[in-house]
Amino acid sequence: MEDWIASWEGLSFPKLKEASLQKIETTGKKLLVEAGVEEEEAALEVRLLLQECFSLNTASYLLRKQELLCKADREKVEAAGIEQTEILGKLHSFFENFEKRRRRIPLAQILGRQSFYGLDFFVNEDVLIPRADTECLVDLVLEDYADLAKQAGSSSLNILDLCTGSGCIGISVAKHLPYQELLLVDLSEKALAVAKKNAEMHLGENVTLLQSDLLTGVQGKKFSLLLSNPPYIVSRVIPGLDREVSEYEPKMALDGGEDGLVFYRRIAKEAKAVLLPGARLYLEIGYDQGESVKDIFQKEGYEAVEVFPDLAGNPRVLRGIFPGK
């Protein structure tokens, strides 16, 4: 216990008997900014770490933020016969998590969850952390649903989520649409374990998981809807990304090869064997890949290939229709 307290005070956090949530947040924000975290994010992240360790919702946090933690806690816990070490344990837990964030480990990995399309998804170092930009893909699918149902010939869809990672795309779409089957595919066994946990939490049934190198292991099934956020970062660019990404997120989920387009070429060819006539596919793409990916799918015979922007106006989602035979 004494070791972490010395480190705590060495970083200019308030002495324990003088500590309040507000004082800790102020110091923590300064330290995270010094570590390279964006200033507008630092205070919120410290607050979320404190709320996690003290089991406080936002309203409770704001109500208690000025209290001296040890003094306030002592008055409450001594009446119940609980030792003061409880508050020290919570502060110790916060400090361990804070030090992880100071090393630029992503906040979502520290907390073990990330919000995506109104749902909380379990995440760890084995999967790409869901991004807000990817929600544009889900938006587009849901907007198109009337046409999708018509093309599928029924109100229930057969959905394939390729390179599923945490499963956030496929699970979010299935949560909002009637579906007959959802297949979550990834090459990583560890990623599939994460996707399985999320599928059980949010859907519970009609979900199949498959370890496969893209579509090579998908046999005897046809799908009306293919979703994917494949790796699309140019290999040489990855080391220069933010540390949270380059050091702590799985390279397998990022590396799109020499030009970032390797997986799009494969999907465009391999998907023909698993798509129903009239099936649609929705793929996330890089901000500068719109025309390149569009050209790949048009040359492979897909119809009505279009690129749609994210909220910042950058190309983000490609949609195409498989004509079939």
Residue-by-residue DSSP string for 99-140 = HHHHTT--HHHHHTEEEETTEEEE--TTSPPP-GGGHHHHHH
Banded model confidence at residue 71, pLDDT cuts 50, 70, 90 = low
Q: Are strands 315-321 and 275-284 parallel, antiparallel or unpaired?
A: antiparallel
What does the pLDDT average to over 111-138?
97
Per-residue pLDDT at 81:
39
Average pLDDT over every residue of 61-76: 73
Average pLDDT taken over every residue of the chain:
91
Q: Please report which confidence band the pLDDT of residue 15 belongs to, taking 50, 70 and 90 as the band edges.
A: confident
Lowest mean pLDDT, pick from 17-31, 84-98, 175-189: 84-98
- In tens, the pLDDT along 251-281 reads 999 999 999 999 999 999 999 999 999 999 9
Residue 124: pLDDT over 80: yes
Query: Using CA atoms, how far apart are residues 286 and 234, in angstroms rounded to an integer?
Result: 10
In this prediction, residue 148 has a pLDDT band, given cuts at 50, 70 and 90, of: low
Evaluate if residue 96 carries a pLDDT over 60: yes
State CA 215 to chain mean position distance.
Answer: 23
What sections of the chain are H helices per DSSP?
2-10, 21-34, 39-54, 58-64, 69-77, 85-102, 107-111, 135-143, 145-152, 168-176, 189-202, 243-246, 262-270, 290-299
Q: What percent of the chain has pLDDT over 90?
A: 81
CA dist 214 → 53, 123, 286, 292, 312 (Å): 39, 21, 19, 20, 30
Per residue in 38-68, pLDDT (tens digit) is 999 999 999 999 999 999 999 999 999 998 8
pLDDT tens column, 159-196: 999 999 999 999 999 998 888 999 999 999 999 999 99
Check residue 325 and give its pLDDT: 62
Predicted confidence (pLDDT) at residue 152 exceeds the cutoff of 80: no
- Span 13-40, mean pLDDT? 93
- Structure confidence at residue 2 (pLDDT): 64
Mean per-residue pLDDT for 230-237? 97
d(CA 254, CA 235): 8
Predicted confidence at residue 156, as pLDDT, reads 79
